[in-house]
Amino acid sequence: MPNISIDVLDAGKITLPRNQIIFGGGEELVTVPVPAFLIRHPSGDVLFEGGMQPDIKEVLGELPDYTVDYTQENEIPEQIRKAGVDPADLRYAVMSHLHWDHIGAIGHLPGVEFVVHEREWNYAHNSDWFIKFAYPLGQIDRETTKWSFIKSDLDNPQHDLFGDGLISTILVPGHAEGLMAMLVRLDSGPVLLTSDSVVSQLHWDNEALPFYTDAPAAVRSVQMLHDLCEQEGIETVVYGHDLEQFETMERSLT
């Protein structure tokens, strides 16, 4: 078996009103993690999720309810270096979606090919009024970044990155128009990285919906992932922003 593993990266934390994470969740402030993942693959290493950006505090100046716990140590290139990899050697940087707390790596990994779903790219550049603030185009449209686009659809939502079945993206719209989860087949069993299609355990258990949502699409995406877990025997599911899970999970999955 080829050697494949996942390092869990810590791209900081956000404190925000609960209703920004859970639809109808009230104004109480909650703190959530911003995880990212470095997937080691024999044909090249892959970043999944871009974390926050170095000037995030200024970007959030217009959102007074939000505060971030983010230092230089949380920058994605720094996290990758800490895991023992030269950021310039990455094969792909896969962006699950283009919301502000998932795109910090854009412009900070010179020479690395960035990957996003075509639907998400198009929506980010033509978003609706209520969600525009979440797509900072100044950060997304960095000229130095080269992009490639995944075009899977709901009939065939998976895209196999290296053609060997080990790392696949899965189109899971709802929270974002072109949101992608990722399935990684480790030696010990498959791991599902949901990104914000499943923000926390509450969403996975169908007890809440994420905010900024096409609700029916979000619910169907969670159901599709439940079905996939059953078909593929997936036992490890890593959520998009679940503090309890993030603080107790292994930092290296093999």
Binding region for Zn ion (CB under 5 A): 99, 196
Tokens of 171: 């189109």
DSSP H helical ranges for the chain:
56-59, 76-82, 118-124, 137-140, 201-204, 215-232, 243-248
Minimum distance from residue 101 beta carbon to Zn ion (Å): 7
User: Measured at CB, which residue is nearest to Zn ion?
Assistant: 99
Give the shortest CB-185-to-Zn ion separation in angstroms: 25
Closer CB to Zn ion, 97 or 159, in the complex: 97
Please give the Cα distance from 47 to 167 (Å, whole number): 11
Dist. CA 23–CA 125, nearest whole Å: 24
Q: Please give the full DSSP string across 40-74, using - where no structure is assigned.
A: E-TT--EEE-----TTHHHHGGG-TT-EEE--GGG
CB of 235 to Zn ion, least distance (A): 25
What is the residue type of 83?
A
Whichever of 8 and 124 has its CB closer to Zn ion, that residue is 124
Q: How far is the CB of 168 from Zn ion (least distance, A)?
A: 20
Minimum CB distance to Zn ion smaller for 7 or for 196: 196
**Considering beta carbons, is residue 43 or 214 the nearer one to Zn ion?**
214
